[in-house]
Every structure is written in structure tokens, then in C-alpha cells.
With several copies, the nearest count.
Chain A
């Protein structure tokens, strides 16, 4: 896949032959000019992808989706789970003068990843990487959004970017927006086509694959479904 350096955050539809096709964020790769994916072993499909052997072929279509609006200055990045993938890619687009705070949220110690990668990507910037685990087995104890709350009341960030579990993003967007900060979140929804025809990824009037995956905070807060509902495969609304 061709990587387009002007577009931090994009996703692709990744086909695991005989198993499924899943939306996956485009991850940075050690090989320049190439892209990678980071998979969390979860259900049937992601496990199938996880088990793909070197040399075995997978299919990729895309990249699809829009990208974060890059601001400069003091930046806050809040990521959880595989939502860290777009955050890692975002780090590669920073300017040398940016002052970056990255928050990594996880349930517990063994689910923390990318901390070292983040520190090395940021080694030329003024930065801090803060990890928080729900059970306190590593870093700060408690929800990562508690750290967000504290930081946004102390620091006037030029931008806040978030990707991860929807409740985490919802709270982050609310907190940042309440302080008048520029904030964007990258949403996840059930995706079938990835190109804006099947409708399965809709959130209120927005289609995540086509209008997003990244939306501005104010727009999201006016969307009745954000933070509350997502749709299952049949398109029925389910609570978070």
C-alpha cells in the first residue's frame, strides 16, 4: 500500500482470506514508504489476522477516511487500545517545536503497549508520555480521562486528539470542549464497505467511513448517538 505522508490517520479494509475483512488503522512501518497494521487478538477475525504467517497473502483496499487537522504548539494525544495506532502515526507528523503530551490508557499492565515506541518517536520534541491503568498495576491508577481532566484544567492545549474506546473519547471531547479547546476524535463503527455506500457505519447523520473517521468535537457533541449508541451488524442501535 502506498503511504501518503500528508494524511495522518487513515484506515484500510484488510481481508483475511476465508475469514473476514476488517477495518484497520494504517500503522507506521519500519520500512520507509510502506505501511503496517497493528492487530489486537480479539474475536474470530482479528485472531485470524493475527495468525497470518509471513508470506501468506492478505488483501488490502484503501486507504480510506480523512485525517487529523494538524495544529502546532502544545498538543494532547489520548489513546486507548488499538486507538493508539493512529496516535503513533500522528506522532510522525509533528513539527520539532511541538510540545506533546501523550496519554496511554489501558485496563492493566499487560495491555500497555507503544510506550517505548512513543518515547523514541518523540525524542526530538519536548514531551511527556503518561500511562494510566484502571487497576493501577502500571503508571497512574484510574481512568485515563481523570488525567485528561487534570491536564486540560492546567494547560491551554492548542489541540487535543483522541482515539480509543468511545466512552473515553466522549469524556475527552466533553472535557476539552468545556475548556474551549480544539479537539478531534477518530471514531470506530461497524464497517462493511468503507466507502460510504452500505450505511453500516452511520452515527446519527454521519457516515464514519466517509465523513470521518475523524470529527471535530463540537460536531460530535451535537450528534445524539456519539458516546451513547453504536449499531450492530443488522443496524440496530445498541448502548455502549
Chain B
């Protein structure tokens, strides 16, 4: 069940996705005990952000969520203090910013923390000037990735999503600048309207769609990236069962992340998936995940 995402080594392939429950070290410890191979923190900014007013989450009929939490977070400096005591949990710190200097400044804050990797959120679909607005600008992506790579020896992951620029352009720009891995995908821009009051439900109007509705979209992105580039991939989007996890690995991902499934199956989902993947590997006679990675591309 151990997996390597390039230079990143994990005991188990299923991680907590960014923005989900990722707020206290106690929670990280609990999730790690519950079977998560790593936890990705909420995306952190240079300053604390309150995020948008409620409603920030809409529960989609038939499954999935639309969220516009608005990247609320305590800010990198506060957060670094929270995770400083960490010894055991593989923590991936997610960062969000508008210019290379933002990322440089934040990375300095974490100098005393044990961190497994950084994940650059280039793909939040509902906050202006950061996230997708950065990911949609390949030149800016190059500058940010180069700056981050020069600021740290810890592996750096770029998280992409469906924006106004083709996500493969963003992937390519990140690879050109030395990125270590790609997480695909973030939520997909969406909205919900209440027919009685005739208004968008989320206070921000637009939010990001996550969960089962985006699973097959995310899966094709992983397949497309792994067919085109030789870069480690972390699959993310709508994963809630071991079959989903296996699909993403067969499509070419080295590890996976999940968030929305926790809203449905709570944190048991980590061990359920670990167990299912393990049984699958035994049944199919694989001794490592690597043996099955990308097999769907062969046919």
C-alpha cells in the first residue's frame, strides 16, 4: 500500500484533500489514525481570511456539494505555529496567493515545521485574484513555481482544475518550471438558485462543485495528464469507494485525495478504501501499487 509520488513517500495512498477539516493538528492526528496517508491543509494565505458569509455550502440533490467557503483560513503565520509540534503526521501544506512573493513569504513561516510537501492551489474556482485566476495565467504559474522551487527543498505539487485556460497548459507550465507532482482536480465552478426566493443560494453566488458529480471528469483529467506527461499525479474529485480509488490509480495516479466523501461516510472512508484496495491487490496479485498504476492506458 506504500506509494511514491515522485520524491514523496507515503505509507498509504489516500490523503485528505485541501480545505476539508484541515484546521487543527488534533484533527490531523485523528485522520492519520483513521487511515489517511497524508493530510493536506486548508489553503493558506499570507494573512488570515474570514472567507464568505454563509451559506457557504450547498448540498446537491443526488450527491455532492457546491462550496464557496472562500478560502477562509487563519493565515500562514498562525497556522505554522499550530503545526510546529507535529512529529508523526505527513502534512502537505496548501498555499494560495497572487504573486510569487506571497508564496516565498509563506514558505519562510514554515521553516520550523516538519512538512511532507507543499501544494500550490492554482485552481480555486470562486475567489478572485488567487486560485484559478492564477492557474489560468501560464506565465504567472511559471514564475510562482520557479520561485517556490527556489525557496524550499521540500517537494512541490501544483493543484489544477478546470478554468478558463486549458488545464493541460497549466500542467505544462508547472512542469517546465520544475514542479514535482500534479494534483488533479479542484472543484468545478458551479451555482445553485433557489426557485422560491429566486436568488443564488451561496452568498458568493458561484462556488465549486465537488463529490460524485465530478468523479468521471476528474478521472479523465488524470488519464489525459498521465497520457501526455511523465509526472507523478495525485487524483482528486468524487472519490468515495475503493473502486473509485482503483479507477484513479489505473488511470495513472500515484495517490489520491478525497474530501466530499467525508460528508457522506465520515472519516471511516479512509479505512474502508484502504481495506478495499488491499483486498483488490491481493485478489489481483499485486505486491505494490506501482504495478497497477496506469494499466488502463495499455488497452
Q: Which of B67, B197, B199 contacts A198 (CB 8 A)?
A: B67
- Interface size classification for chain B: 35 or more
Interface presence of B299 (CB below 8 A) = yes
Interface presence of A31 (CB below 8 A) = no
Q: Is the CB of A210 within 8 A of B266?
A: yes
- Please report the total number of A residues contacting B with Cβ < 8 Å: 31
- Using a CB-CB cutoff of 8 Å, which residues 184-207 of chain A contact chain B? 192-200, 202, 204-205, 207
Interface presence of A54 (CB below 8 A) = no
Question: In the complex where A192-B57, A234-B49, A235-B23 touch, is A197 in contact with B262 (Cβ < 8 A)?
Answer: yes
- Using a CB-CB cutoff of 8 Å, which residues 244-264 of chain B contact chain A? 259-260, 262-263
Residue in A20, A232, A235, A236 whose Cβ sees the most chain B Cβ within 10 Å: A235
Q: Which of A59, A196, A198 contacts B56 (CB 8 A)?
A: A198
Q: Is the CB of B22 within 8 A of A193?
A: no
Interface presence of B53 (CB below 8 A) = yes
Interface presence of B29 (CB below 8 A) = yes
Give A66 Cβ to nearest chain B Cβ, in Å. 12
Question: Which of B72-80, B107-115, B128-136 lies on the face that meets chain A?
Answer: B72-80
Chain B residues whose C-beta falls within 8 Å of the C-beta of A17 in the assembled complex: 194, 197, 199
- Using a CB-CB cutoff of 8 Å, which residues 53-109 of chain A contact chain B? 57, 59, 61
Question: In the complex where A197-B263, A202-B21, A205-B27 touch, is A234 in contact with B197 (Cβ < 8 A)?
Answer: no
A48 to B136, CA, bound (A): 39
A192 to B58, CA, bound (A): 10
Q: Is the CB of B54 within 8 A of A18?
A: no
Question: In the complex where A202-B27, A205-B29 touch, is A194 in contact with B73 (Cβ < 8 A)?
Answer: no
Q: Is the CB of A198 within 8 A of B48?
A: no
A54 to B65, CA, bound (A): 30
Interface presence of A15 (CB below 8 A) = yes
Q: Is the CB of A200 within 8 A of B23?
A: yes
Question: In the complex where A235-B72, A236-B74 touch, is A197 in contact with B259 (Cβ < 8 A)?
Answer: yes
Q: Is the CB of A234 within 8 A of B57?
A: no
Interface presence of A233 (CB below 8 A) = yes
Q: Which of B24, B196, B299 contacts A18 (CB 8 A)?
A: B299
Interface presence of B26 (CB below 8 A) = yes
Give B252 Cβ to nearest chain A Cβ, in Å. 19
A121 to B179, CA, bound (A): 65
Chain B residues whose C-beta falls within 8 Å of the C-beta of A61 in the assembled complex: 59
Q: Is the CB of B27 within 8 A of A236?
A: no
Q: Which of A20, A194, A204, A234 contacts B53 (CB 8 A)?
A: A20
Over the window 14-30 of chain B, the binary record of Cβ atoms lying under 8 Å from chain A Cβ atoms (1 yes, 0 no) is 00000111111011011
Q: Is the CB of A235 within 8 A of B74?
A: yes
Q: Is the CB of B194 within 8 A of A193?
A: no
Interface presence of A231 (CB below 8 A) = yes
A207 to B22, CA, bound (A): 11
Report the 4 A-B pairs with minimum CB-CB distance, sorted nearest first: A205-B26, A21-B54, A234-B48, A21-B55
Chain A residues with CB under 8 Å of chain B are 13, 15, 17-18, 20-22, 45, 57, 59, 61, 192-200, 202, 204-205, 207, 210, 231-236
Extra pairs beyond A197-B21, A235-B72 (10, CB < 8 Å): A15-B54, A18-B197, A21-B54, A192-B72, A193-B56, A197-B20, A199-B19, A199-B24, A204-B24, A234-B51
